[in-house]
């Protein structure tokens, strides 16, 4: 019975893989686009900008995700993979919100400076 189920699932996967419609590959690409648009810039700014606070991160994540979903729903993904505008809008949002409402927690800022010194000393 187990082997029969494996064969059936394999045939279904083969049919889905050969179908040009929205398939598992399309869904996975959309999901990875969502992760990239929501979290990619956040990781970069979190590592390289001392001003990135949780409010800034949230604003960027929401913006990147909304742009990604709207881009896909309006079917502009035919012209450009939706991660690109989501990623760019997330970066712009983080940059702009950082200038207005950047990190103000002195403890976090001190920790960032300590880690920066340790990394610089290790080079």
Residue 81 lies in a domain: yes
**CB of 82 closer than 8 Å to CB of 30:** yes
Instruction: Write out the residue range of the structural domain in which residue 97 sits.
Output: 23-122
- Examine residue 113 and state whether it is found in any structural domain, yes or no: yes
Query: What pLDDT, on a 0 to 100 scale, did the predictor assign at position 109?
Result: 87
Question: Is residue 103 a part of any domain in this protein?
Answer: yes
Percentage above 90 pLDDT, the chain:
48
| Total domains, the chain | 1
Per-residue pLDDT, averaged over 52-77, amounts to: 93
Residues 79-98 have pLDDT tens digits of 999 999 999 999 999 999 98
In a domain, 82, yes or no: yes
Residue 26 has pLDDT above 70, yes or no: yes
For residue range 2-13, list pLDDT tens digits in order. 899 899 989 987
Say what the pLDDT of residue 91 is: 96
Domain contains 85: yes
Sequence-separated (6 or more) residues with CB below 8 Å from residue 104: 53
Predicted local distance difference test score (pLDDT) of residue 1: 86
């Amino acid at each position: 019975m187990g082997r029969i189920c494996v064969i059936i699932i394999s045939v279904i996967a083969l049919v889905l893989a050969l179908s040009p419609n929205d398939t598992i590959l399309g869904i996975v690409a959309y999901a990875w686009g969502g992760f990239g648009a929501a979290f990619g810039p956040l990781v970069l700014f979190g590592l390289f900008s001392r001003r990135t606070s949780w409010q800034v991160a949230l604003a960027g994540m929401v913006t990147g995700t909304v742009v990604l979903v709207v881009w896909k729903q309006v079917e502009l993904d035919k012209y450009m993979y939706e991660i690109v505008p989501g990623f760019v809008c997330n970066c712009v949002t983080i940059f702009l919100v950082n200038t207005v409402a950047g990190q103000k927690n002195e403890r976090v800022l001190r920790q960032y400076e300590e880690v920066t010194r340790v990394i610089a000393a290790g080079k």
